[in-house]
Amino acid sequence: MRKHNFNPGPATIPTEVLAEAAQGLLEYQRTGMSIAEMSHRAPEIMALVEEASALVKSLYGFGDDFEVIWMQGGASAQLAIAPMNLLDKQHAVAIVNTGYWATKAIKAARELGQVEVLASSEATKFDHIPKEWNVPSNAQYFHLVSNETIDGTQWHQYPELSVPLVADMTSDFLTRPIPQEKFGLIFASAQKNFGITGTTCVVIRKDFLSQRTPRQIPTIFDYQTHINEQSLYHTAPTFSIYVALLALRWTQAQGGLHEMERRNAAKAKLLYTEIDRNPLFVGNVKTTDRSLMNACFQITKPELEVAFLEFAAQNDVVGIKGFPTVGGFRASMYNAMPLESVQLLVDLMRDFAKRH
């Protein structure tokens, strides 16, 4: 029997995606080979990379003014690769510090150029997204972490700015439609909402990339290299891209991003309603900025934290332990998380409160 997997990533994958991926790992489309054995330049692999890119564009409604590429190194690599490609010496990255991943982005960008931290909620343990700030005139772009996986905040409306947004969407990619005209670049590693570890989807607006001031960039880290080579400049993580493609097909078949948004809102409402109702639990984040993906909460009797984790595990609920720097609990509810699993967690919270 499958567990109710609330892990923050690697995370729950639809069973039908897993079944098809398993078959492809044994033999891909009657080729007599596993997909993991095939050349990354084989026609079959080139076709699936092209389909995966087309599906990302189709689901979001991106036009021909955007490129989609597949890279390695995860979102952490993109924290450096993005400013390496986009930031010149005369300008700065503007950013609001909203949590763990914004903090990492600040550090990575400072190694390559100027950074303007416009506001921060660190003093209140990242319990909200600061709203009062202004973008300085020297900003080249605004780096935004659309969803803080560890701290549990999420931008529910993207700001109106005079500069493009560069967004780390790793934990809420493909979960809702977006106002695409605001974005110059989006990146997301696959292990949350659309696959397994090993590949990162990068969406780039062509005119934003073309406006960059040339700097010396190693060929392997230059976005244009991967655009020119259709993500096959070097040996691509073919199996990871294949699983991403299967997850993209699943997302489309389920009804696309509007349906994902509806489902995710329902799951989050169910859990947050219980957190607010149950005297044994309390949320970490102000209600206006709570993440629909990662609900972070504490127990009001800290001595019962381990007992609740054990109680949950005994009932096949796993992955709810909070990040070490935050503590408490974190329930990650990505696209593939069924509502029934969230209902079970809520039922366990109620039962545990009655017992204690």
Average pLDDT score over the chain: 96
The one catalytic residue in 70, 151, 155, 168 is: 168
Per-residue pLDDT at 306: 97
Per-residue pLDDT at 337: 97
Range of the domain at 334: 256-355
Catalytic status, residue 101 = yes
The yes-or-no verdict on residue 202 having pLDDT over 80 is: yes
211 — pLDDT class (breaks 50, 70, 90): confident
Strand stretches in 172-306, DSSP E: 183-189, 200-205, 281-283, 294-299
As given in the structure block, the two tokens for residue 160 are: 């109106």
Per-residue pLDDT at 50: 97
The yes-or-no verdict on residue 311 having pLDDT over 70 is: yes
Within 8 A by CB and 6+ apart from 150, the residues are 8, 99, 100, 101, 294, 296, 323, 325, 326, 330
Q: Are 95 and 117 in contact (CB under 8 A)?
A: yes
Whether residues 96 and 27 fall in one domain: yes
Mean local confidence (pLDDT), 11-25: 97
Whether residues 118 and 261 fall in one domain: no
Instruction: Answer with the one of 232, 254, 276 that is the final residue of a domain.
Output: 254
Mean local confidence (pLDDT), 237-250: 97
Mean local confidence (pLDDT), 42-52: 96
The yes-or-no verdict on residue 1 having pLDDT over 90 is: no
Q: How many domains does the chain have?
A: 2
Tens digits of per-residue pLDDT, 284-310?
999 999 999 999 999 999 999 999 999
The yes-or-no verdict on residue 223 having pLDDT over 80 is: yes
Mean local confidence (pLDDT), 41-64: 96
Residue 118 burial (CB count, 10 A):
16
Burial 259-297 (b: 16+ CB within 10 A, else e): ebbebbeebbebbbebbeebebbebbbeeebbbbbbbbb
Whether residues 238 and 289 fall in one domain: no
Whether residues 204 and 150 fall in one domain: yes
Q: Indicate whether 107 belongs to any domain.
A: yes
Whether residues 300 and 315 fall in one domain: yes
Per-residue pLDDT at 261: 98
Rounded Cα distance, 113 and 90, in Å: 9
Q: Are 141 and 182 in contact (CB under 8 A)?
A: no
Whether residues 316 and 195 fall in one domain: no
As given in the structure block, the two tokens for residue 90 are: 């005369």
Mean local confidence (pLDDT), 144-149: 98
Whether residues 171 and 210 fall in one domain: yes
Q: Indicate whether 145 belongs to any domain.
A: yes
Q: Which residue has the tokens 């078959």?
A: 23
Within 8 A by CB and 6+ apart from 283, the residues are 272, 275, 276, 290, 295, 296, 297, 298
Residue 49 burial (CB count, 10 A):
24
Q: Are 24 and 18 in contact (CB under 8 A)?
A: no
Output phi, psi for 237, to 5 deg. -75, 80
Whether residues 218 and 265 fall in one domain: no
264 — pLDDT class (breaks 50, 70, 90): very high
Q: Indicate whether 9 belongs to any domain.
A: no
Rounded Cα distance, 173 and 295, in Å: 17
Q: Indicate whether 1 belongs to any domain.
A: no
Whether pTM exceeds 0.75: yes
The yes-or-no verdict on residue 83 having pLDDT over 80 is: yes
212 — pLDDT class (breaks 50, 70, 90): confident
Whether residues 220 and 344 fall in one domain: no
Q: Of 184, 80, 100, 110, nearest to 141 (Cα)? A: 184
Within 8 A by CB and 6+ apart from 233, the residues are 220, 225, 226
The one catalytic residue in 70, 127, 151, 192 is: 192
Cα 116 to the center of its chain, rounded Å: 24
Whether residues 209 and 81 fall in one domain: yes
Helix axes of 339-355 and 305-314: crossing angle, nearest 10 degrees: 130
Whether residues 246 and 273 fall in one domain: no
Helix, strand or coil, per DSSP, at residue 170: coil
Q: Residue 148 maps to which CATH number?
A: 3.40.640.10
Mean local confidence (pLDDT), 84-102: 96
Instruction: Answer with the one of 188, 223, 254 that is the final residue of a domain.
Output: 254
Q: Which residue has the tokens 């389909």?
A: 51
Instruction: Answer with the one of 238, 254, 270 that is the final residue of a domain.
Output: 254
214 — pLDDT class (breaks 50, 70, 90): low
The one catalytic residue in 101, 155, 172, 289 is: 101
Whether residues 195 and 100 fall in one domain: yes
Q: Indicate whether 39 belongs to any domain.
A: yes
151 — pLDDT class (breaks 50, 70, 90): very high
Q: Indicate whether 5 belongs to any domain.
A: no
The alpha carbons of the chain give a radius of gyration, in whole angstroms, of 21
Strand stretches in the chain, DSSP E: 4-5, 66-71, 92-97, 114-120, 139-145, 165-168, 183-189, 200-205, 281-283, 294-299, 317-318, 329-332
The yes-or-no verdict on residue 213 having pLDDT over 90 is: no
Q: Residue 325 maps to which CATH number?
A: 3.90.1150.10
Per-residue pLDDT at 77: 97
Q: Indicate whether 3 belongs to any domain.
A: no
Q: Indicate whether 57 belongs to any domain.
A: yes
Structure-model confidence comparison of residues 214 and 188, the more confident one: 188
* Percentage of the chain exceeding pLDDT 70: 99
